[in-house]
Chains A and B, each alone.
Chain A
Amino acid sequence: MSDLGKFTPDADSELFGKNVACTNKILAKILLDWTSTELGDGKKRQKYLTAIYFDKLTELFCRIWDQLQAEEKIRYKSAYSSYRGIHGPGRAISINRQEDDKLSLGTNPKDYRRHKLAYITEIIEKIYPPVSKARIPFKLIGDAWNSRCRIEPQIAHSQWRSWLEGSEDNSMDSVFLTARELSFVMNISQAIRILTKEEIRALGTHPDASNTIAGIQFNLNKWQYMSDKLTQGHQVNDAENVSERLKYIAQEIKRKCVTNRSSYESGIRKLKEELKKIGDADLQNAINKVQAQTTSEIWDNDSIVRYAKYADIIHNVSIYLEACIRILYLNKQLSSRELEALAKITKNLDKEYSRLGCSFPDPADIQKTSMESVSDMCRRVKREIWERIPHIPEEGKSGVP
């Protein structure tokens, strides 16, 4: 594992490398099964998952697998730990970047990688088998830090079986998967295979209410920081990117508070039905412990209900702010569709916040206003929202819950 050794100089390469290889092989198998599933009516799944969906697939699998290990049903944990990110919990490893890598961080404004962490897509990008690429479990198309990068399985079904057969000796320590571990993998794959990518994303993002709350708060803290940058009179060099990011984070808040609920509902229902068919009691118990069994456990939680009330407004404020920056700072024109959507948003914001003395100019009139005036209104709206939503202290910088 020479690449892995360079990438993780502090790791115990012997055990760690082997664990990474095993985890990646299993993930490749699960992704292969998911992409190969025929949907009926002659429809086929796409042959890849994009980064966020793959990240949540990894998170979902690793969460279940680690719980099985905690219950001593299997020998080893997954190789990756769960860290909080914009999109909720995701799997990563803690690293020390080489100098060149450190320098490359931040050269692209949309590259949000961190110095001390490598998320699953970067791990896949950088780790190859020691001898050529013939047995890479995945193919990554696009930049690893881009949410649109695609991850395709590169293994063949027969290759999975040859991994199962081939171990240097047949001792318990060296065998890739014992019979029981294999059955867990196949059962997890069977259960995940029936889910849509949105359902996988929802299940991966929301293990339970407290994690969801922590995730929303994490996003809110990020949103606050970025909106402050834009609205407190600081000339932001990269205003366009920051405002796009702000809007994106607001979308994520809304997704966690509201949008994911329906996908979670259909996903957990399908998962429960499939687990019943599979009949693996140990697996079922493990999943019950790490995954909320109903949507109301999460979305009827008081804090989340309160967050949900303001998720739309936060999103709308972000859209409005981003539009103003494009028009006022960058002299850009909005499309007719954008103008139409913005008009509706303006109306809602006006209706909601005119009592605060806020009057959000119509899209057609934005050019007549100033950024200071818009910023002032956004700050007032934000202050009020912040008074009404629950606040949880920010987690440690690593984002470990």
Chain B
Amino acid sequence: MITPEFIEKVIYRFLKTLFSKRRYDLIICGERKATAMLRVLIQEIKDPKLDLAWQQVLSSSAIDAYDWENFQGKTILIFEEMVHHGNGLRRIFKQLRFNKRVPRDIEILTAGFGVWEHCEYRPDFWYSGFLNDNEYTEFREGIIALLQRYGSLLLDTEHIELIVKLECGLSDFFNALARSADDGSTFSFISGAGKLNLTITNPPLLNEPKMKGILTPGSNTKGVVKKVRTVERSHDRFAIIPIFLPNTRCVLNQEWIEGLPQFVDTNVFENNRVSYREVFYLVGLLASIELLRGIVAALGDLISKNLITLEVAEESFTHLSAMFPYINIQGLRNYVTTVVLESKSCSPLHSIQAVKVRDIPENILNKFTFDFFSSLLQKMYDWDDQEKRKRDPNGLSCMEIREISEVVASEFEINQNGLSVEKAVVAVAPDRTIDAGFLNTNVSKIMSSSNEPWAIRTFSPAAEVVTAKFEQQIGTKGNPYR
């Protein structure tokens, strides 16, 4: 059986060997597990850690924003933790050679930790190169378990986080967080590795006017992902991860560009280096920082009594350079520090008596997650060819995800022990499926009725092996959680 401990050991050895034999000036990671994997090896594991600077790492999602004209290096390595057919590697390679016109004197090599036996586009280097279906699935699941063990690291390759160190009990901490949103918005549950989680859905903004300056002209926040996740990292440390991803109209004006914080290198907007994807993630980054204000205000009492310590830790930011190569990371950290300091003296939204944390038992969450994901697959299978052609291949929108959740939730017994199942599972199930590696998040470009480009968050099944497993499960045994 492939354990997370085994994966950690061998992937470390694989990459260490790879980097010791040759110098790579840039390592491009297939988003998002590869970036998360590097984060584990560079920051989280016990010493010795992988000796690699984040400046040498670039996410595949940020290729367009990278300053290729000034790239001085000689060798690029594209790394994916698992390579199935090799389409991901091939796509990145093409993007570099043909879209970005990376010159031929710059060598581009590829590496995959685990490779499927029938892979069509094989990488140059691998650890295990001929995995059959079962082995491939085991390796993949071992990687996901490892990422879950280190605290849902699949989440945060593009999100900032604050680290909270507790000197109080867990209940006081969770109850304080719940003060940042209306009653019935805060849910606790356990993720795959038995880690404690708290999700706050739709927390109000403390500074609405500030948000207007962050959104590109015409963008909106209707029905978007807007939540704060709190994830256990260790016995007494939690990561607070705000996630706010507005529907972004990708028509920029000078006023908006000039209004960006100083840590953003606005040169990136010249010369068409920025695509809809970068605009979306940048707006999402800035919007998520605004969510922190309410959270910090809610924790104010605990902070002032030294019952918790809130850290804007360097190691929570350095990995973001892979995703945002045009951002000064220290500048971003300073900005967030200022926001935190400003918010400490603000009043929380609600008193502690007015709100309650709702707990979601695993059996409900598992049942719902299974049904939700099955329904999602079914919906995608039901698309006819015309529908498929109309759509960006990157999946379903937030609204569509919510619709599926609501239909599935309507089959559940509502109000189990005072828990509004619909609201709870609609809020939490997508997170659970992302944590478990079932669901990928993407950015899709859609054209509005006035033919303007918009970027929205979309979701799609993570991998062929995942969908195959679900199909097999549904076909033979039905829902195992019922």
- The interface of chain A, by Cβ under 8 A from chain B, is 38, 129, 131-139, 152-159, 161-162, 165-166
Q: Which residue of B lies closest to A137 (CB)?
A: B169
Q: Are A156 and B359 in contact (CB under 8 A)?
A: yes
Residues of B within 8 A of A156 (CB): 170-171, 174, 188, 196, 357, 359
By secondary structure, the B interface counts as: mixed
- Contacting residues, chain A, for B51 (C-beta < 8 A): none
In the assembled complex, the Cα of A38 lies from the Cα of B235 at a distance in Å of 30
Inter-chain contact B167/A134, CB cutoff 8 Å: yes
Known: A133-B167, A134-B235, A154-B170. 14 other contacts (CB 8 A): A133-B166, A134-B166, A134-B170, A134-B173, A135-B170, A136-B169, A138-B169, A154-B168, A155-B169, A155-B170, A156-B357, A159-B196, A161-B194, A161-B361
Contacts A152-B171, A158-B188 hold; do A132 and B236 have CB atoms under 8 A apart?
yes
**Which A residues touch B165, using CB under 8 A?**
132
Query: What are the 4 closest A-B residue pairs judged by CB atoms, nearest first?
Result: A154-B169, A134-B236, A134-B166, A157-B359
User: In the complex, which residue of chain B has the Cβ closest to the Cβ of A132?
Assistant: B236
Instruction: Name A163's closest neighbour in chain B (CB-CB).
Output: B194
Whole-angstrom CA separation of A155 from B171 in the bound complex? 5
Q: How far is the CA of A159 from the CA of B195 in the complex (A)?
A: 9
Considering only residues 345-387 of chain B, those with a C-beta below 8 Å from chain A are: 357, 359, 361-362
Specify which chain B residues have a CB less than 8 angstroms from the CB of A159 in the assembled complex: 170, 196
Q: Are B172 and A158 in contact (CB under 8 A)?
A: no
B197 in the interface (beta carbon within 8 A): yes
For A129, the chain B residues whose CB sits under 8 A away are 235
For B235, give its contact among A131, A152, A157, A158 (CB under 8 Å): A131
Task: Say yes or no: A139-B172 contact (C-beta < 8 A), given A131-B236, A162-B190, A165-B190.
Answer: yes
CB-CB under 8 A from A166, the residues of chain B are 194
B48 on the interface (CB 8 Å rule)? Answer: no
B259 at interface, CB cutoff 8 A: no
Specify which of B173, B197, B236, B418 is in contact with A158 (CB 8 Å cutoff): B197
Q: How near does chain B come to A290, taking the closest CB pair, in angstroms?
A: 30
Q: Which residues of A contact B276 (CB under 8 A)?
A: none
Please tell me which one of the listed residues A38, A135, A139, A162 contacts residue B195 in the complex, with CB atoms under 8 A apart: A162
In the bound complex, what is the Cα–Cα distance between A165 and B191 (angstroms)?
11
B66 at the interface (CB under 8 A from A): no
Interface readout for B161-182 with A: 1 if CB under 8 Å, 0 if not? 0000111111111100000000
Give every chain B residue within 8 A of A155 (Cβ-Cβ). Answer: 169-171
Total residue contacts A-B, CB cutoff 8 A: 72
Q: Which residue of B lies closest to A139 (CB)?
A: B169
Q: With a CB–CB cut-off of 8 A, which chain B residues contact A134?
A: 166-170, 173, 235-236
Residues of B374-408 whose CB lies within 8 A of A: none
Q: With A and B bound together, what is the CA distance between A38 and B418 in angstroms?
A: 9
Q: Which of A132, A134, A161 has the most CB of B within 10 A?
A: A134
Q: Report the minimal beta-carbon distance from A48 to chain B, rounded to whole angstroms.
A: 11
Q: Which residues of B contact A133 (CB under 8 A)?
A: 166-169, 236
- Residue in B closest to A160 when the chains form the complex, CB atoms: B359
In the complex, B189 has a CB within 8 A of chain A = yes
A163 nearest CB across to chain B (Å): 9
* Chain B residue nearest to A131 in the complex (CB): B235
Q: How far in angstroms is the closest Cβ of chain A from B162?
A: 16
Name the residue of chain B whose CB is nearest to the CB of A158.
B188
User: Are A162 and B171 in contact, CB atoms less than 8 angstroms apart?
Assistant: no
In the complex the two chains form, is B359's CB within 8 Å of A158's CB? yes
Q: Which residues of B contact A138 (CB under 8 A)?
A: 169
How many whole Å from B165's CB to the nearest CB in chain A?
7
Q: CA–CA, A135 to B235, complex, Å? A: 7
Q: Is the CB of B166 within 8 A of A132?
A: yes
The reply to whether A154 and B195 contact each other, CB–CB distance below 8 Å, is no
Distance between A133 CB and nearest chain B CB, rounded to angstroms = 5
Tell me whether B196 and A162 are in contact (CB under 8 A). Answer: yes
In the bound assembly, the distance between CA atoms of A134 and B166 in angstroms comes to 5
Complex-state Cα separation, A131 to B174, whole angstroms: 19
Residues of chain A within 8 A (CB-CB) of B174 are 156
CA distance A134 to B173 in the complex (A): 9
CA separation between A156 and B197, bound complex, in Å?
10
* Bound CA span A157–B188, Å: 8
Min CB gap A125→B, angstroms: 14
Contact A165 B194 (CB under 8 A): yes
CB within 8 Å of A: which B283-297 residues: none
For residue B242, give the distance in angstroms from its CB to the closest CB of chain A.
Answer: 21
Question: Mind listing 22 A-B residue pairs with CB under 8 Å?
Answer: A131-B236, A132-B235, A133-B169, A133-B236, A134-B168, A134-B169, A134-B235, A135-B236, A138-B169, A139-B168, A139-B171, A154-B169, A154-B172, A155-B171, A156-B196, A158-B189, A158-B196, A158-B197, A159-B170, A159-B196, A161-B194, A162-B190
Q: By the criterion CB–CB under 8 Å, are A161 and B190 in contact?
A: yes
List which B266-310 residues lie within 8 A (CB) of chain A.
Answer: none
Please report the C-alpha to C-alpha distance between residue A131 and residue B235 in the assembled complex, in whole angstroms. Answer: 8
Residues of chain A contacted by B196 (CB below 8 angstroms):
156, 158-159, 162
Query: By the criterion CB–CB under 8 Å, are A132 and B167 in contact?
Result: yes
In the assembled complex, the Cα of A138 lies from the Cα of B361 at a distance in Å of: 22
In the assembly, what is the distance between CA of A157 and CA of B173, in Å?
13
Among A153, A157, A162, the residue within 8 A (CB) of B194 is A162
Alpha-carbon separation in the docked complex, A157 to B359 (Å): 6
* Separation of A186 and B291 alpha carbons in the complex (Å): 38
How far is A152 from B195 in the complex, measured between Cα atoms in Å? 23
Bound Cα distance from A165 to B189, whole angstroms: 13
C-alpha spacing A5/B189, complex, angstroms: 33
* A22 to B194 Cα, complex, angstroms: 18
Closest to A37 in B: B417
Name which residue of chain B comes closest to A133, CB basis: B167
**Chain A residues, Cβ within 8 Å of B357:** 156
Q: Complex: how many Å from CA A388 to CA B359?
A: 57
Per-residue CB contact flags for chain B residues 193-209 toward chain A (1 = under 8 Å, else 0) read: 01111000000000000
Most B-side CB within 10 Å, residue of A133, A136, A152, A158: A158
With a cutoff of 8 Å between Cβ atoms, the chain B residues found around residue A152 in the complex are: 171
Contact A153 B171 (CB under 8 A): yes
Chain B hits for A132, CB < 8 A: 165-167, 235-236
Please, which residues of chain B bring their CB within 8 A of the CB of A139? 168-169, 171-172
Cα separation A132 to B238 with both chains bound (whole Å): 13
**Candidate in A129, A153, A159 with the most chain B CB atoms within 10 angstroms:** A159
B174 CB, min distance to chain A CBs, angstroms = 5
A76 to chain B minimum Cβ distance, whole angstroms, is 23
Nearest-Cβ distance from residue A332 to partner chain B, whole angstroms: 38
Q: A329 to B152, alpha carbons, bound, how many Å?
A: 69
